Amino acid sequence: MTLVLLIAGLVLLLAGAELLVRGASQLAVSLGISPLVVGLTVVSYGTSAPELAIGIGAALDGQPDIVLGNVMGSNIANVLLILGLAALVAPLVVTRRLVWLDVPVMVALSLLVTLLALDGHLERWLGAALLLGSLTYTCLQVVLGRREGAAMARSVEAPEPASSPRWRNVLWLLLGLCLLALGAQWLVDGAVSIAQALGVSELVIGLTVVAVGTSLPEIATTLLAVRRGQSDMAVGNIVGSNLFNLMLVLGSAVAISPGGFAVSGAAVHFDLPVMTAVAVACLPIFFTGHRIGRREGALFLGYYVAYIAFLVLSATGHPALPALSSVMMLFVVPLTALTALTLGLAAIRALRAERRAGRR
């Protein structure tokens, strides 16, 4: 029965992703907005629904660590795991809008939350401000999306592609979201049951299966969007999900928590800085050539494996932890610094080239 639940969850997940991507892309055409904006808003809201449900429930139960762990873990997994996998499937083209607007907003929000959490507490006013930011950001995306859609329509002389009725696109989108949520739940339940039967501890299950489980909608939607040639929607979904995790999920949880949120020392000294570093790393990688190649995808995946290994070994007090820490200090940190320097120099050269071309 557990294996049937696992397979059924996977089938529902794939079917939901297919309906969501199809409905969202055709809805973008019918509304005259770009697929990027749909990915940054509608799809991101939908795929962040599991995190929102878990966050509100944990906040009402007085469990701030679960909320923060959910947000931080999802944001790290979205970039390192999901974008890494997607880039290995096919190199991803990144639009200028993402580089100059959406990714800097993601970096700024990550830095803001990290800095305000340094004293071990998040105030309720921050939650209200994040919720207001979510509303403002969504409105801004709709306005910019309409402008971009109008500009695209003027630049293309060919007739507009035929699309199904708008109500049908909305129906596909909503049905896809429901199937994604149900499929993710079944898949996580089945995986947890199998892991428990194999004798894996609940701690390791929580750090791996459940953490990745809330990102399953993003994984399915992003990979399918890449396969269908909708790289704008794929990357927009990841960036938008990270933004809404910070603004909507964390904002809602902090705002409804009496007295605000207590932030653990582990989150302040490790997880929040890692989440912020991952967001910052997107800037040079996205900027260089405005694409995410297979090499960057493999690098992201390697970092995610190292991150999960460090979490598991640290939580279980495994004797291999010092060895892994030494490897990370001797290999991963220098490689990261070299990669950042290389990408930074390439970004500077690309920016100078764009300015020279603009002068001409």
Cβ atoms of 75 and 207 closer than 8 Å: no
Q: List, in sequence order, every residue forming a beta bridge with 27; answer none if it has no partner.
A: none
| Structural tokens at position 337 | 């610094």
Would residue 290 be called left, alpha or beta, if left means φ above 0 and alpha means ψ between -120 and 50 degrees?
A: left
| Structural tokens at position 314 | 């640290």
Which pTM value belongs to this model? 0.77
Least Cα distance to 351 among 132, 154, 168, 100 occurs for 100
Cβ atoms of 2 and 196 closer than 8 Å: no
pLDDT in tens, the chain (360 residues): 677 777 787 677 667 767 776 777 677 667 777 777 777 777 777 777 777 777 777 788 787 777 888 788 889 888 999 999 998 988 888 887 787 888 889 999 999 999 999 998 999 999 999 999 999 998 888 787 777 656 655 554 444 444 567 778 788 878 877 887 777 677 667 766 776 676 665 545 655 666 677 677 778 778 878 887 877 778 888 888 899 899 998 999 899 988 888 888 878 888 888 888 888 888 777 766 677 888 888 988 988 888 888 777 776 666 776 776 666 655 555 555 655 566 566 666 666 766 676 665
Least Cα distance to 267 among 79, 110, 142, 44 occurs for 110
User: Quick check: helix, strand or coil at residue 263?
Assistant: coil
Cβ atoms of 35 and 232 closer than 8 Å: yes
Domains of the chain: 36-153+202-359 (1.20.1420.30)
Quick one: pLDDT at residue 250?
92
Query: Which amino acid, 45?
Result: Y
Number of H helices, E strands in the chain: 20, 4
Query: Which amino acid, 226?
Result: V
User: Quick check: helix, strand or coil at residue 119?
Assistant: coil
* DSSP letters spanning 229-268: T-HHHHHHHHHHHHHHIIIIIIHHHHHTSTT-EE--HHII
